Structure 1
């Protein structure tokens, strides 16, 4: 993402009230290949806030729908209680849950990944970002991913899960900021 967009988003995020305990949570939502991770990393560099990746809590390739409950339980609830997020990471290579992880959070946390803009999570988000990217750009990016071969057999099923999730939750309708995911990185 271009530096100006990132700086404006950082200013916006810092100006919003903390809604998860004393923490400002920024959710970066969008379809696979939209550019969520790149934007999250750039925003983290601008704010010094840690990034939480939804892929750490999806319970496997069919787990998009279940991820919002895990985000609420392992990230949002601890923040509301003044504690740091603590989650059980999913080991994609082994196809099962792995060890517990935690990250210290002071005043801000960036959550990125499909599902982080779920309706049940939105009341705790200080800023919801939707990354809008045309399908052809997203597909090209997915083909170039480092894990493209491992992702390929699951790509159509994941896209169906995204369709089902987004038909219910419509996060773009609630987004505080819509980012053009085609902007050069």
Structure 2
């Protein structure tokens, strides 16, 4: 990955930051676009550039209650995580145990911590209203599918169309690409 996507996010974040409020960055895009890689690199760079400042990474892959759970996870991000944080309270999220097909333990996010939330469904109108910055990772569907199947193999392939349909419904309703303050070309992010 080149430094440009990370630099673009940090530049936009500096312009959008409100003194005294912890930053919240939402990273969204279709499956296989590179959003997870971008978020991991963003958190690593954050830690390197701002020693002593705590930053948390929350992945919607840990929220989705199964292969039909995009909408549920998008609501949970807003209601259980971002709204409490905006009120100065700890945010919470409950991990989905993909192996057992059931909810697992709760996790808490400190309201004093900077936060990066990544995943399909992270950037909707309600969540964007509670965040400092929205990032959309754009990549064509064929390349996203190729990357996702290369990453997850046979475990994901039978679910691709089902998941892509949920992403399309969310995008048609919420327009995360238009809500984004920064749009990153997924080709600049190595899978």
Q: 2:118 aligns with which of 112, 118, 126?
A: 112
2:111 and 2:158 map into 1 onto residues whose CA distance is 36
1:184 and 1:37 map into 2 onto residues whose CA distance is 10
CA displacement at 1:80 relative to structure 2:
1.7
Residue matched to 2:40 = 41
2:168 aligned with 1:157: no
Residue matched to 2:153 = 148
Inter-CA distance 110–18: structure 2 relative to 1 (3 Å threshold)? farther
Q: 2:171 aligns with which of 155, 162, 166?
A: 166
Q: Secondary structure at the match of 1:155?
A: helix
Q: Could you say what the CA RMSD is over the residues aligned between the two structures, in angstroms?
A: 1.9
TM-score, normalised by the number of residues in structure 1: 0.90
2:122 aligned with 1:101: no
CA displacement at 1:122 relative to structure 2:
1.4
Q: Deviations over 1:143-169 (max 9, x none)?
A: 211x32222221110011111111101
Q: Secondary structure at the match of 1:50?
A: strand
Q: Secondary structure at the match of 2:187?
A: coil
CA displacement at 1:106 relative to structure 2:
2.9
1:102 and 1:85 map into 2 onto residues whose CA distance is 6
Q: Secondary structure at the match of 2:156?
A: helix
Residue matched to 2:2 = 2
Conservation of the 8 A alpha-carbon contact between 2:12 and 2:181: no
Unpaired segments of 5 or more residues in structure 1? none
Conservation of the 8 A alpha-carbon contact between 2:38 and 2:189: no
Residue matched to 1:11 = 11
Conservation of the 8 A alpha-carbon contact between 2:124 and 2:179: no
Q: Secondary structure at the match of 1:60?
A: coil
2:94 and 2:76 map into 1 onto residues whose CA distance is 9
Q: Deviations over 1:19-42 (max 9, x none)?
A: 9x9221111110000000000011
Q: Secondary structure at the match of 1:124?
A: coil
Conservation of the 8 A alpha-carbon contact between 1:16 and 1:127: yes
Residue matched to 2:51 = none
Greater Cα shift, 78-87 or 31-40: 78-87
